[in-house]
Amino acid sequence: MTAPGTHDDSTTGAEGIAEVAVTLPVPGRYHYLVPSSLADRARVGARVLVKFGKQKVTGVVVPNTSKTPVGVKLVPLSDVLDVEPALSPELVDLCLWVADYYEAPPGEVMRAALPAGSGVGAKRVWSLTEAGERATSGGQGTALPPKQMVLLARLANAPMPAAGMSEAVRRNFVALKERGLVQEVEQRDAVRVRLKRERIVQMTEGVDLAKVRGQLSRAKKQLEALEALVEAGGMMSAAALNRLTPNVVPQLVKAGYVTVFEREMSLGAAPVADGMSVSVPPELTPEQVVAVDAITAAMKAETRKPFLLHGVTGSGKTEVYLRVIAETLAAGKRALVLVPEISLTPQLAARFRARFGDLVAILHSGLTEQARLGEWSRLHRGEATIVVGARSAVFAPMTNIGVIVVDEEHDGSFKQDEGVRYHGRDVALVRAQRAGAVCVLGSATPSLETYAHAQRGNYVHLKLTVRPTARPMPSVEIIDLRTHLPDGDAFLSSPLRNAIGETITAGDQVILFLNRRGFSTFVLCRGCGHAFRCPHCSVSLTYHRHTDRLSCHYCGYHQRIPDVCPSCGGKDTIVRKGLGTEKVTEAVAAEFPKARVARLDRDVASGAKIEAVLSRVGRREIDILVGTQMVTKGHDFPGVTLVGVLCADTGLNIPDFRASERTFQLLAQVAGRAGRGDKPGRVLVQTYRPTTPAVTCAAAHDYESFFNAESATREELLYPPHGRLIAVRIDGPDASEVASLAERLAQIAEAVAKRPENAGQVEIRGPVAAPLEKLRNRTRWQIWLRSSDRAALRRVARALTLVEVPSRMRVGLDVDPISAL
């Protein structure tokens, strides 16, 4: 394609043609001429600056595939931004696959593959021309107003961004430009970040702590510091050591016990050995041995199937990954590990760092832009050979990958829910296959799709059925809330209340799980029934006591509770109902006044704060932790012997075909938090639906039965894993306009589905308003396309992307959707 609105201004000296995927939400790739001056750098994967219509945008050079247009004049590339291509040919290929499979613009996918801040959207800067340089270096006296002299001098140091300067300054620049001294240019910003440096204290080789104890018997603080160092494996950041025992390092150096050196700090993770011991690999269980052997053997084999590592919670899956990765490194290859929302599982990242130290790069959305670029460049340069990261790390800049691990492969956070709607796990499978790497999908509760693949023999099924240290799986009791009435605020039935009491009396810890934030989940007028709903989204507002506000969990809108009902004018008629983590935490604290109670959910914690709460639990400074999904993730707290689920069915009423699967997974995961130490664990599940398979199978630790029941239900409806789905998501500011567009698209879909080549293979459901009909003032509708014939499904979906719609409305295809909301 030729770029729209471009015209030819200089084709002289041009040589060759490059195909470019521009980082804009436009389909296709565009052709540009490559001036000979840029020819050696305009390679596949290099970022370039191109004219696109009236704007200049960045893009990435892709392999020439489509036919070069004839009879049209092409515009030259404006610039090549990379010396070495930012994306390897392998990654460019992967991005093009993603664009094709998920029906997304290729440039948008590449943008997802490049770290934020890596030069998407170039900035305009003022810089010196050659004449300007001569003028500032004093070669030629120019009479200029003092202000302009100052500006010139500043440019001699560094170019200045053109945006955001005052009108007066800008006028001076324009005057300088007229004299030919300065120019306005696009700045190229290469991927280069300077990493912070940190000081590391290291035990001197040969120092024997037993002897030192004698020598330092009078110097308590120095001895303390040395003991901490030994505990940490002989190395620690000076900052961490200073926090433990201030001001002893100089004395230790003087005495020759330690040496201090400086090195680049890895930005993504906690500094190495910040009080964390270097882990010694345990001896593997027989099941682990089988798994490690099978995976490492596959690495050496010619053809390789993906593995499903299906291990109950706490069965040592992580240890299997660590061993396989060690083998991978020994074979001179690299490893990519995807984990869900890494900021929630700092322990997991820490375990990788403890085993492999600086070879590990950590990538996740909680990092600052600079930190992410830092980790990205360490991988790009090959300094880090293992990456542990969330979804987008599947695009990590690595070559020579031996193994790709997807931990908790069933987790919904691997699917991006807007923009390019890719699934990190599925892209991982494709990347592994193309790179000739082994792919390992690990889970205690595999997604139905993955398990079905394993059953059909597409994946190798490895099982870990027991916990390594002979800790039994926790016993799970179901408590029927219809007979054991829960009390008002804490929502505890008597069996659960008793169990909490026993547990804290024994000095052990409790986790209470409730899938709802806030204090009261709905607020209404008991006079007229008026419910408080978000004016921008179709959901009710949740009352938060801490802020004393009603707030919307989707868009962040908040308001006070009025004194009189806005509908009937009634006074004192407004009541708060339903429960949330905030209310439960308060009530539990009141019921168990001696216990230290803390809450963990999105309202109290993000990023580092989550880590802080979790490490307090780890240090046993918290007796009862109340929280949402955040408490269910892979934490390993030996002190937790009781897990209480306050209401297992909150998630079952969501109008989504995955509601049951998600509930089962959550229950199994949260139950797995209990009894990871020496004492056996106990789990109490309160529910109004004590016979539903999601609840009973989770309680019985019976994945197989759950799979069979759920798979049968889905088969009738042709839902995955039995059929394929594409959701067409339509949204816009005007409700009736969106509804009629949805209607029109559905008719087009019906017509295309009837064409002979599709032979009625595609079923069209809808159009329907989305369950969450209004979100941030946009009305949302959906059409669901279902088929077991992927090619036909794509043809119908593609036909819809060709329909012209006004720019205020959006039509997005969600291939393999995981949510119906």
**Residue 364 CB: number of other CB atoms within 10 A?**
24
Candidates 53-61, 312-320, 449-457, 655-663 — which segment interacts with ligand ADP by CB under 6 A?
312-320
Q: Does 552 bind Zn ion (CB under 5 A)?
A: yes
Residue 161, class by beta-carbon neighbours within 10 Å (0-12 exposed, 13-18 middle, 19+ buried)?
A: exposed
- Judged by beta carbon, residue 559 or residue 788, the one nearer Zn ion is 559
- d(CA 9, CA 562) in angstroms, rounded, equals 64
And the tokens for 443? 């889970």
Q: Does 288 bind ligand ADP (CB under 6 A)?
A: yes
User: Minimum Å distance from CB 682 to ligand ADP?
Assistant: 18
- Judged by beta carbon, residue 473 or residue 541, the one nearer Zn ion is 541
Q: Which does residue 636 bind out of ligand ADP, Zn ion, none, counting CB within 5 to 8 angstroms by kind?
A: ligand ADP
Candidates 195-203, 314-322, 662-670, 789-797 — which segment interacts with ligand ADP by CB under 6 A?
314-322
- Judged by beta carbon, residue 195 or residue 284, the one nearer ligand ADP is 284
Which amino acid type is present at position 180?
G
User: Minimum Å distance from CB 557 to Zn ion?
Assistant: 5
Per 3-state DSSP, the chain is made up of helix, strand and coil in percentages (nearest 5) of 35, 25, 40
Residues in 595-634 at the binding interface with ligand ADP, rule: CB under 6 A: 634
- d(CA 370, CA 166) in angstroms, rounded, equals 28
Cis peptide before 767 (omega within 30 of 0): yes
**Residue 719 CB: number of other CB atoms within 10 A?**
19
Query: Site for ligand ADP (CB under 6 A): which residue of 285, 328, 392, 632?
Result: 285
Query: Site for ligand ADP (CB under 6 A): which residue of 31, 111, 304, 317?
Result: 317
Query: Site for ligand ADP (CB under 6 A): which residue of 136, 318, 521, 758?
Result: 318
Size of the site for Zn ion (CB under 5 A): 7
- d(CA 504, CA 617) in angstroms, rounded, equals 14
| Beta strands 509-513 and 386-389, pairing class | unpaired
Cis peptide before 562 (omega within 30 of 0): no
Q: Which does residue 316 bind out of Zn ion, ligand ADP, none, counting CB within 5 to 8 angstroms by kind?
A: ligand ADP
Q: Which does residue 282 bind out of ligand ADP, Zn ion, none, counting CB within 5 to 8 angstroms by kind?
A: ligand ADP
- d(CA 395, CA 367) in angstroms, rounded, equals 16
CA distances from 30 to 59, 70, 338, 538, 797 (A): 10, 13, 33, 41, 23
Closest among 359, 372, 454, 346 to 409, alpha carbons compared = 454
CA distances from 121 to 507, 663, 677, 717 (A): 57, 42, 52, 45
Candidates 38-46, 208-216, 270-278, 556-564 — which segment interacts with Zn ion by CB under 5 A?
556-564
Q: Does 534 bind Zn ion (CB under 5 A)?
A: yes
Which amino acid type is present at position 144?
L
| Beta strands 182-187 and 30-35, pairing class | unpaired
Q: Does 536 bind Zn ion (CB under 5 A)?
A: yes
Query: Site for ligand ADP (CB under 6 A): which residue of 28, 282, 472, 556?
Result: 282
CA distances from 225 to 200, 206, 246, 409, 735 (A): 13, 17, 9, 42, 66
Candidates 280-288, 521-529, 651-659, 723-731 — which segment interacts with ligand ADP by CB under 6 A?
280-288
- d(CA 17, CA 574) in angstroms, rounded, equals 69
Q: Which does residue 361 bind out of ligand ADP, Zn ion, none, counting CB within 5 to 8 angstroms by kind?
A: none
Query: Site for ligand ADP (CB under 6 A): which residue of 315, 443, 445, 581?
Result: 315
User: Minimum Å distance from CB 770 to Zn ion?
Assistant: 14
Query: Site for ligand ADP (CB under 6 A): which residue of 198, 274, 293, 636?
Result: 636
And the tokens for 643? 């897990």
Which run of H or of E encompasses 769?
strand 763-775
Size of the site for ligand ADP (CB under 6 A): 17
Asked if 767 and 735 touch (Cβ cutoff 8 Å), the reply is: no
Q: Which does residue 319 bind out of Zn ion, ligand ADP, none, counting CB within 5 to 8 angstroms by kind?
A: ligand ADP
User: Minimum Å distance from CB 439 to ligand ADP?
Assistant: 17
Q: Which does residue 767 bind out of ligand ADP, Zn ion, none, counting CB within 5 to 8 angstroms by kind?
A: none
Candidates 56-64, 311-319, 397-405, 450-458 — which segment interacts with ligand ADP by CB under 6 A?
311-319
CA distances from 781 to 685, 730, 736, 768, 794 (A): 36, 5, 11, 6, 20
Rounded to the nearest angstrom, the gap between the alpha carbon of residue 108 and the centroid of all alpha carbons in its chain is 17
- Judged by beta carbon, residue 62 or residue 537, the one nearer Zn ion is 537
Residues in 375-434 at the binding interface with Zn ion, rule: CB under 5 A: none
Candidates 247-255, 528-536, 623-631, 746-754 — which segment interacts with Zn ion by CB under 5 A?
528-536
Asked if 272 and 205 touch (Cβ cutoff 8 Å), the reply is: no
Q: Which does residue 230 bind out of Zn ion, ligand ADP, none, counting CB within 5 to 8 angstroms by kind?
A: none
Q: Does 311 bind ligand ADP (CB under 6 A)?
A: yes
- d(CA 99, CA 419) in angstroms, rounded, equals 11
- Judged by beta carbon, residue 640 or residue 775, the one nearer Zn ion is 775
- Judged by beta carbon, residue 390 or residue 728, the one nearer ligand ADP is 390
User: Minimum Å distance from CB 541 to Zn ion?
Assistant: 8
Residues in 460-489 at the binding interface with ligand ADP, rule: CB under 6 A: 468-469
Candidates 160-168, 532-540, 639-647, 696-704 — which segment interacts with Zn ion by CB under 5 A?
532-540
Look at residue 308 and give its three-state secondary structure.
strand
And the tokens for 121? 């959207």
Query: Site for Zn ion (CB under 5 A): which residue of 133, 461, 557, 688?
Result: 557
All residues at 6 or more sequence positions from 283 whose CB lies less than 8 Å from its CB, including other chains: none
- d(CA 820, CA 782) in angstroms, rounded, equals 9
Q: Does 316 bind ligand ADP (CB under 6 A)?
A: yes
- Judged by beta carbon, residue 537 or residue 730, the one nearer Zn ion is 537
- d(CA 771, CA 779) in angstroms, rounded, equals 11
Query: Site for ligand ADP (CB under 6 A): which residue of 144, 230, 284, 739?
Result: 284
User: Minimum Å distance from CB 611 to ligand ADP?
Assistant: 17
Taking phi over 0 as left and psi of -120 to 50 as alpha, with beta for the rest, 598 belongs to: beta
- Judged by beta carbon, residue 91 or residue 428, the one nearer ligand ADP is 428
- d(CA 193, CA 373) in angstroms, rounded, equals 7
Q: Does 313 bind ligand ADP (CB under 6 A)?
A: yes
Residues within the interface to ligand ADP (CB under 6 A): 282-285, 288, 311, 313-319, 468-469, 634, 636
Residues within the interface to Zn ion (CB under 5 A): 534, 536-537, 552, 554-555, 557
